[in-house]
Amino acid sequence: MRASDLIHLLPELILLGGAALVLLLDIVWLRRAEERRRQLLPYVALGVLLVAALGLIPGGGDNVSVATMLVFDPFALFFKVFALLAVALIVLLATPYMQTRTPFSGEFYALLLATALAICLAVSASNLVMIYLSMEFLSITSYVLAGYFRQDRKSGEAALKYFLYGATASAVMLYGMSLLYGATGTTDLAGLVAGLSSGAAGQSAWLVTPAIILLLAGFGFKASLVPFHQWAPDTYEGAPTPVTAFLSTASKATGFAILMRVFLVGMGAASMASQWISLLVALSVVTMTLGNLTALRQTNIKRLLAYSSIAQAGYILIGVVAVVSDSTRIFTGINGVLIYLLAYLFTNVGAFAVVTAIEDATGKLEIKDYSGLVRRSPWLAGLLFIFLISLTGVPPTGGFLGKFFVFGAAVQTRMWVLLAIAAVNSVVAAFYYLNIVRYMFFVPAAEEGEPIRVGRPLQGALAITAVVTVLLGLIPGPVILWASESARSLLLALR
Amino acid sequence: MNQFPLLSVITLLPLVGGLILLALPGARLQKWWALGVSLATFVISCLLFVWWKAGEAGMQFVERLPWVPQFNIQYYLGVDGLSLFLVLLTTFLTVLVILFSWEGVEQQLKPFLALLLLLETGMIGVFVALDLVLFYAFWELSLIPMYFLIGGWGDAHGTYNFLGRTLSWRVYAALKFFLYTFAGSALMLVAILVLYIRGGTFDLLALQQIGLAPNLQFWLFLAFGLAFAIKVPLFPFHTWLPDAHVEAPTAGSVILASVLLKMGTYGFVRFCLPLFPDASRQLGPWIAALAIVGILYGALVALVQKDVKSLVAYSSVAHLGFVMLGIFALNAQGVAGATLQMVNHGLSTGALFLMVGMLYNRRHTRLLADFGGLWKQIPIYGFLFLIVALSSAGLPGLNGFVGEFNILLGAFQMNRAYAVFGTLGIILAAWYLLVAVRQMLHGPLNKAENMAVRDLNVREIVTLAPIILLFFVIGLFPNLFFDKINPSAQAVVDALNRPQPIVSMAVDSER
């Protein structure tokens, strides 16, 4: 490791320092201060995120390996920007919400910054050991965030379930990694593909299939793929709503980023690719179908969005399995995944922002509590409608753009059965998304309520997410370019 | 070529007007504003007719801008003889339904009018878009306002149990409408992507030249066709229609029947025939057969309806069957007749729904049995209703006859049996419409509620008069319209019968 490499680690270092700073400010400076000064903390966190984003610029366009364990390529850069954006939105969501619910709001922002750091490391990791460590880092901070309301039993349940599933999944994943190490004698992704396809490892090639399955437990847990999804509904329901928004977007995206890097770089050779592709096709079908069918029966909005997020993971997987190595194509599969994840970030965080606003004002989370919302708060109802049609995949929204690209990739690779199942699924999904719309617009409220007051930070989050969701549909050009460019660095590894 | 972006103005003016409407206070101002916007749109759209280059088959008033250049998606608009009158029909009827809604929409008038204007943008966009992605976007855009119009302002009566949820009928109807259409368009999206990967463009006119393998054409035709068949609706995909039509508020029913259904038939003419000529010839007879089933089935079911609005709804199934029969006669006469008949059905059925709505506003019932002898009480209404019914039944001298006659001529050239069954449908149409006229207008005026009904007021007459005027214009001077339709219809049919270029079998699936 050279000193000049540090420039690539700038955002990570800033986040590390920032997290420590927020923590220290909370303990030392604000110790006896009045509550008003404490309200500055989220803005400190936002500032740290902004500086970290600026820190991405010096090492921006490079494609280098640092300290043998991290690689800085456009693909990692995409997800780092993604993570900073996501965490910034979550901070906005959490600002009024957390302050009224817990006295420990300072640590919350420090932890959020730590998750951003974890994601930045995870998406750069090019070595199984580093991948494991950064995923654990992300998981442990997430467990704490999920159980942040200590007095609330549901929040505790959320954290415990998440922890138990997560611990098991990561142990299983670690076992898979050890199998790969046993077969090849290396933990480096690039070394892995060389070792597995060379003759020397010929007799241990059979290890690849079990290793893939074991690794999937870890990645699938983060990305909430069926059958590693069981934690998701309870955790999503019990966790503080901004944390739920985080788990369903940034955390899920990290799972996909690692999955793509490990499989494309570490097992990109054709003989291995066919194995994980067929496995992922099956997972995709099961994930979207089960997610959608279970979502139909939900009455709690957070649980509904949890199952919807499982189903969406199934659609995103289509992009992964439809990958093509020719990066000059419009649809490479991977660019579809990136576009989808980005659109889903803004859409889903937006939806959770509305949920947060309503929960904050009324404390209610059942879908039937949304009755007559259009009379009470037409803006919130209208915004949630935009997010819901984006989740459904109706133009002109980001959700449509994402579906367009993953479906396009599947058409290109002629996965007709998968496409047909996905098409049917998207109609099923339309039903339960419209069910929320039905309550908001067509069912009169049981009792008249006052208009819902929305704090400034949350207003900001709503405005940003809604505008981006629509703009992604209207002016998709720049994002398509960016995603395709970012995907290219990963596709080069695939042969 | 004209440099003024006429089509963009027509398409986007209602959208902009609708957004401004949301900021306006006071019901009175809102109504006048909505009327003004729709009227302005209509007047501007009439320029299409005035500046039309006669005898030209291709696209006119073309506008073309890159939208997503990296991806070859364009903002590409144009009209030809097939779409011209559908655009005019849309702008025309939007004015009238806003005029109709002057009274009777008691609550939430502002969003109601805004949705109508948004819907207008979506519908016009569907008829003028020549880029498949743009088309798809407008197609879906027209879905959402209609969903809200049915679900939010429909008739509130009855509930329905669906998947363990108790929905009111109108919400059920709205949901059914949305899900049916959405299911169709999901497959259409896949088909659009296949075309793009084959042709490298979403440009409709360019895609017509690429020459697809007949086998592929078959599947793509089915994917597009399903979306359109649901919209038309072609038997047996019609089951959403009676619910949606009956539950929708009158303005919604009018737009739904007159314009939205035409998006399906237009889709067949604009997309299925030119893009998939081999498949069209192969599947044409089957679709024509389904169309005939629809004609007879719709008519027979209409005959036994007790509710006059359901009667009109089922008559739409029958009439749209005629349009489909004309299209899949696959000759110029049939296609041209079908194109005019789309407009005719829009006018006749639109007028029928308006008149049913006017009566409903007075009596709050639509059951045929509740009426009787109304002619004595409200003669102006009776007289106009008779004209509208006769127009819908295809009386010579009125508009319906011209379209149906050409469709039957076309069908006759293809297969005589089809023409015979089609004629049977015309007889049935006269039957159920005259049954309605008899039960409503004739007989003794023996119900107390009917004796207090007021006749049409000036606003209502003004709403109906332009439609009825057009009945006669089309009926007596059909060539005013056929002149513009025929070249384009002929071009579609010529392309259909032209030998296809050698098929390129590019292999796209290598990793």
* Tens digit of each residue's pLDDT (9 = 90 or more) over B452-505: 788 888 888 888 888 999 888 988 888 888 888 888 888 888 888 776 554 444
Give ipTM to 2 decimals.
0.90
CB contact under 8 A, A438 and B171: yes
**Nearest by CB: A394 against B140, B152, B508:** B140
CB contact under 8 A, A408 and B196: yes
Q: Are the C-beta atoms of A378 and A430 separated by less than 8 Å? A: no
- For residue A477, give the chain B residue with the closest CA: B68
Chain B residues near residue A299 by CB distance under 8 angstroms? none
Chain A residues near residue B182 by CB distance under 8 angstroms? 392, 394, 426-427, 430
How close, in Å, is residue A344 to chain B by CA atoms?
A: 19
Q: Is the pLDDT of residue A495 over 60?
A: no
CB contact under 8 A, A411 and B194: yes
Which pLDDT tens digit goes with each residue over B294-344? 999 999 998 888 888 888 888 888 899 989 999 998 888 889 999 999 999
Could you tell me the pTM of the whole model?
0.91
How close, in Å, is residue B193 to chain A by CA atoms?
A: 6
**Nearest by CB: B151 against A331, A392, A441:** A441
B510 lies in some domain: no
CA atoms of B446 and B161, how far apart (whole Å): 38
Domain extent listing, chain A: 269-495
pLDDT cut 70: percent of chain A above it: 95
CA atoms of A443 and A161, how far apart (whole Å): 35
User: C-alpha dihedral over B296, B399, B388, B310, to 10 degrees?
Assistant: 30
Nearest by Cα to A345 from A484, A422, A248, A232: A248
Which pLDDT tens digit goes with each residue over B490-509? 888 888 877 655 444 444 44
How close, in Å, is residue B183 to chain A by CA atoms?
A: 6
**Nearest by CB: A296 against B151, B163, B194:** B163
Average pLDDT rounded to a whole number, residues B166-175? 80
Q: Are the C-beta atoms of B455 and B381 separated by less than 8 Å? A: yes
Chain B residues near residue A321 by CB distance under 8 angstroms? none
CB contact under 8 A, A323 and B511: yes
Chain B residues near residue A424 by CB distance under 8 angstroms? 183, 186
Give me the pLDDT at residue A30, please. Answer: 67
- For residue B141, give the chain A residue with the closest CA: A395
Average pLDDT rounded to a whole number, residues B62-72? 84
Give Cα A268 to chain centroid, integer Å. 23
**Nearest by CB: A481 against B70, B164, B167:** B70
**Nearest by CB: A427 against B69, B167, B186:** B186
Interface test with B, best of A324, A403, A419, A438 (most B CBs within 10 A): A438
B509 lies in some domain: no
Lowest mean pLDDT: which of A452-461, B274-283, B363-372? B363-372
The better pLDDT of the pair B16, A106 is held by B16
Q: Which of the four pLDDT bands, split at 50, 70 and 90, describes residue A173?
A: very high
B476 lies in some domain: yes
**Nearest by CB: B197 against A389, A411, A427:** A411
Q: Which domain holds residue B390?
A: 6-497
Q: Looking at the 3D structure of chain B, how many domains does it have?
A: 1
CB contact under 8 A, A431 and B179: yes
Average pLDDT rounded to a whole number, residues A7-12? 86
A479 touches chain B (CB under 8 A): no
Chain A residues near residue B175 by CB distance under 8 angstroms? 431, 434, 438
Nearest by Cα to B137 from B173, B90, B175, B188: B188
**How many alpha carbons lie under 13 Å from residue A98 in its C-beta half-sphere?**
29
CB contact under 8 A, B68 and A430: no
- For residue A430, give the chain B residue with the closest CA: B179
CA atoms of B307 and B316, how far apart (whole Å): 15
Phi, psi of B309 (to 5 degrees): -70, -40
Tokens of residue B116, six digits: 């109508």
**Nearest by CB: B68 against A392, A412, A477:** A477
The better pLDDT of the pair B275, A495 is held by B275
B1 lies in some domain: no
Peptide bond before residue A74 is cis, with ω within 30 degrees of 0: no
**Nearest by CB: B68 against A438, A442, A480:** A480
Nearest by Cα to A260 from A489, A11, A12, A472: A489
Q: Are the C-beta atoms of B318 and B429 separated by less than 8 Å? A: yes
CB-based contacts of B133, cutoff 8 Å, min separation 6: A395, B67, B73, B192, B202
Contact map slice: A 50-109 vs B, CB within 8 A: none
CB contact under 8 A, A330 and B179: no
Which pLDDT tens digit goes with each residue over B428-439? 888 888 888 888
Q: Is the pLDDT of residue B72 over 60?
A: yes
User: C-alpha dihedral over A125, A128, A129, A134, to 10 degrees?
Assistant: 40
CB contact under 8 A, B189 and A404: yes
What's the angle, vertex CA B489, arms to CA B485 and CA B490, rounded to 5?
120
Which pLDDT tens digit goes with each residue over B77-109? 888 888 889 999 999 999 988 888 887 776 778
Interface test with A, best of B193, B202, B505 (most A CBs within 10 A): B193
Which pLDDT tens digit goes with each residue over A66-105? 778 888 888 999 999 999 999 999 999 988 888 778 777 7
A263 touches chain B (CB under 8 A): no
Nearest by Cα to A251 from A262, A243, A261: A243
Average pLDDT rounded to a whole number, residues A23-47? 78
Give me the pLDDT at residue A388, please. Answer: 94
| B159-162 vs B165-168, strand pairing mode | antiparallel
What does the mean pLDDT of chain B come to?
85
Q: Are the C-beta atoms of A460 and A94 separated by less than 8 Å? A: no
Q: Is the pLDDT of residue A28 over 90?
A: no
Which pLDDT tens digit goes with each residue over B1-60? 456 888 888 899 999 998 888 888 888 888 888 889 999 999 998 888 888 888 788 888
How close, in Å, is residue A326 to chain B by CA atoms?
A: 7
CB contact under 8 A, A434 and B175: yes
**Helix A334-362 × helix A252-261 angle, to 10°:** 160
**Nearest by CB: B190 against A419, A430, A477:** A419
Q: Are the C-beta atoms of A262 and A219 separated by less than 8 Å? A: yes
Contact map slice: A 317-346 vs B, CB within 8 A: 323-326, 330-331
